[in-house]
Structure 1
Amino acid sequence: MTNPQQDAGDGRAARWRGQREKRRSEFVERALVAIAEEGPDVSVATMAVYAEVARTRIYRHFEDSTDLRNAVARRVAAMMLLEYAPVITTDGAPRAILTRAARTHLDWVTEHANLYRYLMSFSPAAEEVRRAITTAVADMLRPYLDALGTPAAATPLANALIGMVESVALDWIERPGGTDVGALTEQLAAWAWALVDTTMRGRGVVLDPDLPLPAPGDLRT
């Protein structure tokens, strides 16, 4: 037999959790606006101004400033992953695939430069998004390297590709007035292709960067 008082208490607890999560999400969204407009070093007090609440109200929904900042960083990471997911694919020719991926990253960091700087300053969240993207790229590469008998090379190659693009892009947004986005996209795609091509040639496979990728089982050594 159910206990009406317990059911009522459980219902109130569930509603409070739902309301708390909703408010946390609202605060995070306003914090994103504050960071985008004020810069990656924006204070919690300024975030509260953008959320139109007293700073103390924020701590009713977050344990402390670290909890808030981590929640914001993870929201930025989720935004990046949502944007990048469609371009991590083997559909098309290698050069086109790499160009599309590089341009997606550069466009995102250009449009959201302060959010990207903020994310990169939070090592747990930055590492999470880096690991997620690297895993997706490694999963894309692995069937090809598996067909050549070296599946273990997928993760190191993915790390090399992601690390290169990430470090170049971060330096690029800190040096305005340098290489334009189109030229840098072509350079990154060319460097990325050089890594992939060297890896494949080392296993006896030569691919044309401008022809559609063959299926892994159709590779010829």
Structure 2
Amino acid sequence: MSSTASRPASAVSGRQARWQPHNDSRRERIVLAAIELIEQSPAGVEVPIVQIAEHAGLAKSVVYRQFAGRDELDRRIRSDVAERFVGDIEDALDIADGSIHNILVRTIGAVVSWIEDHPRLRDFLRTGPSETDPDVDAMSALIATIAGSTRALVSGLAGAVGVTDDASADTMTFAIVSMTEATVTRWSNDPAPALTKDQLIEELASYAWHVVDGVARRHGLTLDPDQQFTEVLTHLIAGDRPDSGG
């Protein structure tokens, strides 16, 4: 019988717990090294595990002790990249700061900047699933996650006027996010785009506003895109609901 098997379960679990921070740190080093190398690599070129290990200052065997194989490592990398992307978007999507137009421009600007600055990571998200959703590629899962976050902009308005059409809000936000991601990706891949970055952001913000405005009017609500979002909510909660005029 091995020495590990002869020890009480509590002793083994305690030893594992003591090593966990060390293992977490190594996993983080490996993932960060992989992300840096992916960003530096040519499009479509897979970074070898031995190169990732060297960049992290670890032996190749350490990588395989921390991850069962390439698939698990790649899923973890995609999850980490997606979390960073979502973090940037959620920082921009602060409904307590600015008008509806400000929020749309700021959030779409964050999407444009991230995709422009990280083209290889964007492409890598499309190569397979993340840890959180094994059934879809990581970019599709990311779009769904961002769409969920942007529902705050819609749900706050809808709840204030007693509208509970969750299906409409879900469809609208997903349509806006999908449109934005696809358009920005096409723009970033164009060697001579017709629009500047600022023009693209304003154009997409305008499209997004017209979608939001159209859905709001269907529910009898007229919104002012230049009014502070918190003021819009305050008026609506107080019962001041402007008529759409038809």
TM-score in terms of structure 2 length: 0.79
Flag structure 1 segments of 5+ consecutive residues without an equivalent: none
Q: Is contact 1:120-1:126 (8 Å) kept?
A: yes
Match of 2:25 in 1: 22
Equivalent pairs counted in the alignment come to 217
Identify if the C-alpha distance between structure 1 residues 132 and 164 changes in structure 2 by more than 3 Å, giving closer, same or farther. Answer: same
Aligned with residue 107 of structure 2, among 92, 101, 109: 101
Matches within 5 A, 1:39-188: 39=42, 41-45=45-49, 46-90=51-95, 91-122=97-128, 123-146=136-159, 147=161, 149-152=163-166, 153-178=168-193, 179-188=195-204
Letter in 1 for 2:157: Y
Flag structure 2 segments of 5+ consecutive residues without an equivalent: 1-6, 129-135
Following the alignment from structure 2 to structure 1, what is the Cα–Cα distance between the partners of residues 12 and 127? 41
1:66 to partner: Cα distance: 0.5
Q: Is contact 1:138-1:158 (8 Å) kept?
A: yes
1:136 to partner: Cα distance: 1.4
Following the alignment from structure 2 to structure 1, what is the Cα–Cα distance between the partners of residues 217 and 191? 37
Identify if the C-alpha distance between structure 1 residues 139 and 94 changes in structure 2 by more than 3 Å, giving closer, same or farther. Answer: closer
Letter in 2 for 1:160: A
Letter in 2 for 1:186: E
Letter in 2 for 1:20: N
1:2-37 CA-to-partner distances (Å, cap 9, x unmatched) read xxx545433322233332222111100000110111
Point out the more displaced range, 60-69 or 126-135: 126-135
TM-score in terms of structure 1 length: 0.88
1:146-165 CA-to-partner distances (Å, cap 9, x unmatched) read 32524322111111111111
Q: Is contact 2:41-2:47 (8 Å) kept?
A: no
- Structure with the higher helix share, 1 or 2: 1
1:192 to partner: Cα distance: 0.5
Q: Is contact 1:143-1:151 (8 Å) kept?
A: no
1:210 to partner: Cα distance: 1.9
Q: CA RMSD in A?
A: 2.1
Q: Is contact 1:148-1:203 (8 Å) kept?
A: no
DSSP-derived class of the 1:59 partner: helix
- Name the % identity: 24
Letter in 1 for 2:104: L
Point out the more displaced range, 163-172 or 121-130: 121-130
Letter in 2 for 1:151: D
Question: Is residue 193 of structure 1 aligned with residue 233 of structure 2?
Answer: no
Following the alignment from structure 2 to structure 1, what is the Cα–Cα distance between the partners of residues 42 and 143? 22
Question: Is residue 219 of structure 1 aligned with residue 241 of structure 2?
Answer: yes
1:158-198 CA-to-partner distances (Å, cap 9, x unmatched) read 11111111111122222232122111001110110111111
